[in-house]
């Protein structure tokens, strides 16, 4: 029995992932926006605003993709 299919470990592993997945994308998005504001365009706060929005989208997308792996191989796989 390969323990990677142990449902407890696998489930816990997946669950712990989601939180940081959301946060990291938000930080990267905001950071890129801030960089663009300060060093590239001097575009006021708008780079950070756009970056945070894009980061939030990316975070939700990441969390969604991570969650999608749960159903892969299970019975309720939807694509």
Partner 1 sequence: MENPLHPFELHPIWHLSLFGLDISLNKAVIMMWVVIALAAGLLIMAASSRRFVPTKLQSLAEILVEFIRGIILDTIGKEGMRFFPFVATLFVFILFCNLLGLIPGSYTVTSQIVVTAAFALFVYTMSLVVGFLFHGVKFLGILIPPGTPAWLLPLMMPVELISQLARPLSLAVRLFANMTAGHTVLAVLFGMVLSLPLVIGWLPFAFSVAINGLEVIIAFIQAYIFTILTCVYLGDAINLHGHEAQAH
Enumerate binding residues for partner 1 (CB under 8 A).
2-5, 9, 12-13, 16-17, 20-21, 23-25, 27-29, 32, 51, 54-55, 57-59, 61-62, 72-73
Q: Which of 5, 40 has the CB closer to partner 1?
A: 5
Report the SS3 class of residue 63: helix
Closest of 26, 51, 66 to residue 43, by C-alpha: 51
User: Residue with structure tokens 């969650």?
Assistant: 67
Q: Which of 24, 67 has the CB closer to partner 1?
A: 24
Provide, rounded to whole angstroms, the least separation between the CB of residue 24 and partner 1: 3
Report the SS3 class of residue 25: helix
């Amino acid at each position: 029995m390969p323990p990677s299919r142990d449902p407890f470990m696998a489930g816990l592993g997946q669950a712990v992932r989601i939180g940081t997945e959301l946060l990291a994308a938000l930080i990267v998005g905001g950071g890129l926006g801030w960089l663009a504001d300060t060093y590239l365009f001097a575009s006021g706060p708008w780079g950070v605003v756009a970056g945070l929005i894009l980061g939030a989208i990316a975070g939700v997308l990441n969390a969604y993709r991570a969650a999608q792996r749960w159903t892969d191989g299970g019975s309720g796989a939807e694509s």
